[in-house]
């Protein structure tokens, strides 16, 4: 069902042993960075016991969840990975920018792995399948393996024609540092200018960045783990993908994952009236104001 191939590049020159060794060393250090980073982010959430909470902090956490989560679902997934609608370069960049703030890797890396998942769903080649690798690997363990950082063929090569997307891939770490700095500055200013808000720089960083990021992570990761195990399977996709109401709602429509595996290039994942799909409604809004076009939907809905 995938629209991508993973054929070897015929122009590729074979790697020398030194190049292979360098790649392996690089992947190892990236894996170590992921392990330490993920542990550190989870521990940083405990900072809430030190900073306390305020309405401002909770609003910041929710806003950051919505902005970055929608960046991943609309930008990384439905636009960049599946090209399920068209938009202009500026909106594409803004959506990819929002997704890049979610600390889920840069857009080219995210898209390459996601397309690989569609091409190899629930087989040995799928590095985050709960069927072949178990729930822990499917949820987050896969990012702690060398395979997560190996070159995934040419899976996102078509996006290299957008220098602004390559820019986000290259510099996305600075977007992480930048948002921590901005949230700290905003919290410190609000705390000083409006003491009745009872907030602080550190409090906004803990809630608006760390807690919000870890929550967004687990919702995204559950699309890979939970949505290939628990839920309904209205379509015979030949894999273990499911529609899960919990992830459907909290994941802005991404939990209608069995629908998605059956119609991977559809911009709409919630195909029944009751399958809430906030990302689809957002894309509809973009279309209504002239910022999106050519929304792909299954023929069964077009004919209805
Ligand atoms: Zn899947
Ligand atoms: Zn997909």
pLDDT in tens, 25-61: 888 888 899 999 999 999 999 999 999 999 999 999 9
Asked whether residue 154 carries a pLDDT value surpassing 80, the answer given is no
Question: Is the pLDDT at 188 greater than 90, yes or no?
Answer: yes
Q: Tell me, what's the pLDDT at 217?
A: 97
Distances (CA, A) of 233 to 146, 251, 278, 304: 32, 18, 21, 21
Which ligand has the minimum distance to the alpha carbon of residue 113?
2
pLDDT for residue 22: 83
119 Cα: distance to centroid of ligand 1 (angstroms)? 10
pLDDT at 114 over 80: yes
Q: How far is the CA of 148 from the centre of ligand 1 (A)?
A: 16
Structure tokens at 265: 């290039």
Q: What is the pLDDT of residue 151?
A: 58
Residues belonging to the chain = 304
Q: Which ligand is nearest to the CA of 269?
A: 2
Å from CA of 79 to ligand 2 middle: 10
253 CB-near residues (< 8 Å, 6+ apart): 73, 269, 270, 275, 276, 277, 278, 279, 280
Task: Pick the ligand that lies closest to the CA of residue 126.
Answer: 1
Phi, psi of 86 (to 5 degrees): -110, 145
CA 80–ligand 1 middle distance (angstroms): 16
Quote the ligand 2 centre to 173 CA distance (angstroms).
24
Ligand nearest to the CA of 223: 1
> Which region among 2-16, 85-99, 165-179 has the lowest average model confidence (pLDDT)?
2-16
In angstroms, what is the span from residue 227 Cα to ligand 1's centroid?
7
Q: How far is the CA of 33 from the centre of ligand 2 (A)?
A: 26
Ligand nearest to the CA of 240: 1
pLDDT of residue 1: 38
Q: In the structure, what pLDDT confidence band is assigned to residue 13 with cuts at 50, 70 and 90? A: low
- Using CA atoms, how far apart are residues 147 and 129, in angstroms rounded to an integer? 13
User: Mean pLDDT across the chain, nearest whole number?
Assistant: 92
Ligand approaching nearest to the C-alpha of 80: 2
Query: Ligand 2 centre and the CA of 236: distance in Å?
Result: 16
Q: Indicate the DSSP class of residue 150.
A: S
Tell me the whole-structure pTM to 2 decimals: 0.91
State the pLDDT at residue 222. Answer: 97
> Could you write out the DSSP letters of every residue in 89-136?
HHHHHHHHHHHHTTSS--HHHHHHHHHHHHHSTTSTT-TT-HHHH-HH
What is the rounded distance in angstroms from the CA atom of residue 264 to the CA atom of residue 2?
Answer: 7
Is the pLDDT assigned to residue 193 strictly greater than 50? yes
How remote is the CA of residue 220 from the centroid of ligand 1, in Å? Answer: 11
User: What is the mean predicted confidence (pLDDT) over 191-198?
Assistant: 97
- Ligand at minimal distance from the CA of 222 is 1
133 burial via Cβ count (<10 Å: 0-12, 13-18, 19+): middle
DSSP category for residue 232: B
13: CA distance to ligand 1 center in Å?
33
CA of 31 to the centre of ligand 2 (A): 24
CA 198 to each of CA 45, 46, 51, 73, 282: distance values in angstroms, whole numbers, following the listed order: 19, 19, 10, 33, 33
Q: Given this model, what pLDDT does residue 23 score?
A: 78
Q: How far is the CA of 123 from the centre of ligand 1 (A)?
A: 11
Provide mean pLDDT across the span 136-158. 85
Over residues 62-74, the mean pLDDT reads 98
Digit-coded pLDDT (tens) for 218-261: 999 999 999 999 999 999 999 999 999 999 999 999 999 999 99
């Amino acid at each position: 069902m995938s629209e991508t191939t993973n054929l070897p590049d015929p122009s590729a020159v074979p790697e020398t042993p030194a190049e292979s060794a360098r790649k392996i060393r690089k992947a190892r250090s990236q894996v170590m960075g992921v392990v330490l980073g993920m542990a550190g982010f989870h521990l940083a959430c405990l900072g809430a016991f030190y900073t306390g909470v305020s309405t401002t902090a909770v609003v910041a956490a929710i806003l950051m969840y919505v902005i970055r989560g929608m960046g991943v679902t609309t930008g990384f997934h439905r636009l960049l990975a599946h090209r399920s609608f068209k938009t202009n370069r500026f909106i594409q960049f803004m959506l990819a920018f929002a997704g890049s703030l979610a600390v889920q890797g840069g857009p080219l890396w995210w898209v390459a792995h996601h397309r690989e998942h569609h091409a190899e769903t629930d087989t040995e080649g799928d590095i985050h399948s709960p069927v072949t690798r178990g729930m822990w690997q499917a949820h987050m363990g896969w990012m702690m393996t060398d395979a997560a950082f190996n070159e995934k063929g040419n899976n996102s090569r078509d996006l290299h024609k957008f220098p602004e997307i390559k820019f986000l891939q290259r510099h996305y770490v600075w977007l992480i540092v930048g948002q921590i700095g901005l949230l700290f500055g905003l919290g410190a200013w609000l705390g000083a200018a409006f003491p009745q808000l009872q907030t602080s720089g550190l409090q906004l960083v803990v809630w608006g960045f760390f807690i919000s990021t870890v929550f967004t992570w687990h919702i995204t990761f559950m699309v890979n783990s939970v949505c290939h195990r628990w839920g309904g399977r209205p379509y015979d996709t030949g894999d273990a993908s499911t529609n899960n109401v919990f992830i459907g709602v909290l994941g802005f429509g991404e939990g209608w994952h069995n629908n998605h595996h059956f119609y991977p290039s559809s911009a709409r994942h919630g195909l029944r009236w009751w399958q809430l799909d906030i990302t689809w409604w957002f894309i509809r809004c973009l279309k209504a104001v002239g910022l999106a076009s050519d929304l792909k939907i299954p023929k069964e809905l077009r004919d209805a």
